[in-house]
Amino acid sequence: MTSTRREILALMAAAGGSLAVTGALYARGLGDDGQSPVALQPAPAAETVTQLAPIAAKFAAAMPIPATLRPTSTTSTTDYYTLPVVPASVEILPGVLTSVLTYGGSFPGPTIRARAGRRTVVKQLNSLTSGTSMHLHGAVVDEANDGGPMDLVQPGASRNYTYLNPQAASTLWYHDHAHHVEAEHVYRGMSGLYLITDDNEAALPLPKGQYDVPIMVRDIGLNPDGSLFFDHQFDTRPQILVNGKPQPYFQVAARKYRLRVLNASNLRPFEFRLSSGHEFTQIASDRGLLAEPFVTTSLPLSPGERGDIIVDFSRYPVGTSIVLENTLFPQDSTKEIMRFDVVRTAYDASSVPARLATLPAPLSPTVTRTFELDMDETTGTGRINGLSYDENRADTTVRWGDTEVWEIKNLDFIPHNFHIHLVDFRVLDINGVAPRAGEAGLKDTVRVMPNETVRILVTFNFPYAGRYYYHCHLIDHSSMGMMANLDIVRS
């Protein structure tokens, strides 16, 4: 680890510590039940809240695969689902029940599988005591179904979310977005995968079925009694979970697997590698397949980003174990993510073709804008261009069809990232340097590390206009205000 990284890690912890004592943050948080909004009150002093449960024994739990949600009915055009938001008790630490907030009672939520061009309708019933708003991250969706921060499903109410899925095969995820409580809702369990496939992907000889595996990575902090600890800090979340279980193991055959890796953490960026040091092949990023496969030894993902990789376990003899490691700010408990145990051989007809998808050609920009991200530690608010989120303010208005360059600057010593609803974009450069091939495909979230300026190219030619949003997807930051309104207008 370089001294720079040590400094950043220390500052991440320090920033969280100072934020935790800001009363305004807690005033808009939830009560001890993790549901009820609490009245204005001072936050507890940071030094009173440091006792956490010990890290669970690593590689002791089998990695579960989130269940696929079954439709309640289907027609020739539409799949109908019911996905209630309900509190639940789940076993995260072995033998201990933890109260969480879930979609459909499971932690994480069930996986919804969709097909490009086919309609998905999700009926949502909110059984919590606070308002919710389900955002489908990465979806090309109209404003009314985007799950915006102010578009709440009130306690006891229900509504339908309708997705037309006019987009390519991609690994998306749904999560809560109710402003000021989205960070706590997501932290307490409100997220799940939404996988879109299409004819192009289906025709490729990539690993499929049981060899196409979601790897949903997040961190969490638990109190000694097993309840969740939540305080907007980075260093009070030392327990790594994959698909809801602590540092699990996963038994694989000696063949190729497609791993759909999602960083579902609130604040923690990762850089994944295999403990063997071997290469793997990245085939997709946020918004679908790359044009060509990218052979690499490293997969960096900040919160909300996705990376699909092909790992060929046939190079390992049966009996071998390979650990998925994190090389970014690796504290003792966050260095090892999970373990793959090669337990059998298997026939493998899959392959990674040299061409994966045809991406739209980048268009020439006519507008350039700059966005500066920072946390105001005196008030505990997140800001974009010096302003904290205001639902009544028009921040950025773009013309439908325009192509723009957005220059995003991180003014802080802590990591941020940048997510835009509805659209996808291309990363042009990071501090003037072209992105790695794995980040050169279609993205909807890009990390912006300390001292970085990232330029992206975005064309607002998706089939919808209206009010959308852009924000830091270190979601505690957006819940503190690092978010703004994006109005796409047809002229």
Helix (H) / strand (E) containing 5 = helix 3-20
Q: What residue type is assigned to position 413 of the chain? A: F
Output the six-digit token pair for 274: 């295999």
Q: Which is nearer to Cu ion, 93 or 373 (CB)?
A: 373
- Smallest distance from the beta carbon of 475 to Cu ion, in angstroms? 9
- Smallest distance from the beta carbon of 428 to Cu ion, in angstroms? 21
Output the six-digit token pair for 244: 């809801």
Whether 446 and 454 have beta carbons less than 8 Å apart is answered as yes
Q: Which is nearer to Cu ion, 83 or 472 (CB)?
A: 472
Instruction: Single out the segment in contact with Cu ion by CB under 5 A; choices: 73-81, 191-199, 233-241, 475-483.
Output: 475-483
- Smallest distance from the beta carbon of 482 to Cu ion, in angstroms? 5
Q: Is the dihedral of CA 51, 85, 78, 161 positive or negative?
A: negative
Classify residue 333 as left (phi > 0), alpha (psi -120 to 50) or beta: alpha
Instruction: Single out the segment in contact with Cu ion by CB under 5 A; choices: 201-209, 283-291, 389-397, 410-418.
Output: 410-418
Helix (H) / strand (E) containing 475 = helix 475-479
- Smallest distance from the beta carbon of 174 to Cu ion, in angstroms? 21
Instruction: Single out the segment in contact with Cu ion by CB under 5 A; choices: 101-109, 212-220, 272-280, 413-421.
Output: 413-421
Q: Which is nearer to Cu ion, 106 or 302 (CB)?
A: 302
- Smallest distance from the beta carbon of 438 to Cu ion, in angstroms? 22
Q: Which is nearer to Cu ion, 152 or 375 (CB)?
A: 375
Q: Which is nearer to Cu ion, 237 or 477 (CB)?
A: 477
Residue ranges in 259-298 that form contacts with Cu ion under rule CB under 5 A: none
Residue 48 DSSP one-character state:
G
Instruction: Single out the segment in contact with Cu ion by CB under 5 A; choices: 3-11, 209-217, 338-346, 477-485.
Output: 477-485
Q: Which is nearer to Cu ion, 13 or 65 (CB)?
A: 13
- Smallest distance from the beta carbon of 420 to Cu ion, in angstroms? 14
Instruction: Single out the segment in contact with Cu ion by CB under 5 A; choices: 166-174, 239-247, 390-398, 408-416.
Output: 408-416
- Smallest distance from the beta carbon of 412 to Cu ion, in angstroms? 8
Q: Which is nearer to Cu ion, 12 or 63 (CB)?
A: 12
Query: Would you call 203 helix, strand, or coil by DSSP?
Result: helix
Placement of tokens 């953490």 in the chain: 265
Candidate list 256, 383, 426, 477; residue touching Cu ion; CB under 5 A: 477
17 to 184, 236, 396: CA distances (angstroms): 17, 10, 32
Do you know the residue count of the chain? 491
Query: What Rg value do the Cα atoms of the chain yield, rounded?
Result: 21
Q: Which is nearer to Cu ion, 357 or 456 (CB)?
A: 456
Phi, psi (rounded to 5 degrees) for 9: -60, -45
Output the six-digit token pair for 270: 């990762």
Question: What is the distance between the alpha carbons of residues 310 and 296, in angstroms, rounded to a whole number?
Answer: 10
Q: Which is nearer to Cu ion, 180 or 416 (CB)?
A: 416
Instruction: Single out the segment in contact with Cu ion by CB under 5 A; choices: 105-113, 121-129, 156-164, 411-419.
Output: 411-419
Query: Would you call 403 helix, strand, or coil by DSSP?
Result: strand
Candidate list 339, 416, 421, 447; residue touching Cu ion; CB under 5 A: 416
Using CB under 5 A, count the residues that bind Cu ion. Answer: 4
Residue ranges in 455-474 that form contacts with Cu ion under rule CB under 5 A: 472, 474
Placement of tokens 């960096």 in the chain: 300
- Which positions ≥6 away from 76 have C-beta within 8 Å? none
384 scored as a contact of Cu ion (CB under 5 A): no
Burial status of residue 21 (CB atoms within 10 A of its CB: 0-12, 13-18, 19 or more): middle
- Smallest distance from the beta carbon of 43 to Cu ion, in angstroms? 20
Whether 381 and 318 have beta carbons less than 8 Å apart is answered as no
- Smallest distance from the beta carbon of 177 to Cu ion, in angstroms? 15
Q: What residue type is assigned to position 226 of the chain? A: G
Q: Is the bond preceding 149 in cis, omega lying within 30 degrees of 0?
A: no
Q: Which is nearer to Cu ion, 414 or 423 (CB)?
A: 414
Instruction: Single out the segment in contact with Cu ion by CB under 5 A; choices: 133-141, 199-207, 294-302, 415-423.
Output: 415-423
- Smallest distance from the beta carbon of 470 to Cu ion, in angstroms? 12
Q: Which is nearer to Cu ion, 176 or 308 (CB)?
A: 176
- Smallest distance from the beta carbon of 477 to Cu ion, in angstroms? 3
Q: Please, where are the H alpha helices in 159-205?
A: 182-187, 199-203
Q: What residue type is assigned to position 258 of the chain? A: R
Burial status of residue 64 (CB atoms within 10 A of its CB: 0-12, 13-18, 19 or more): middle
Phi, psi (rounded to 5 degrees) for 475: -70, -20
Q: Which is nearer to Cu ion, 268 or 477 (CB)?
A: 477
- Smallest distance from the beta carbon of 382 to Cu ion, in angstroms? 6
Instruction: Single out the segment in contact with Cu ion by CB under 5 A; choices: 83-91, 230-238, 272-280, 414-422.
Output: 414-422
Give me the residues that bind Cu ion (CB under 5 A), please.
416, 472, 474, 477
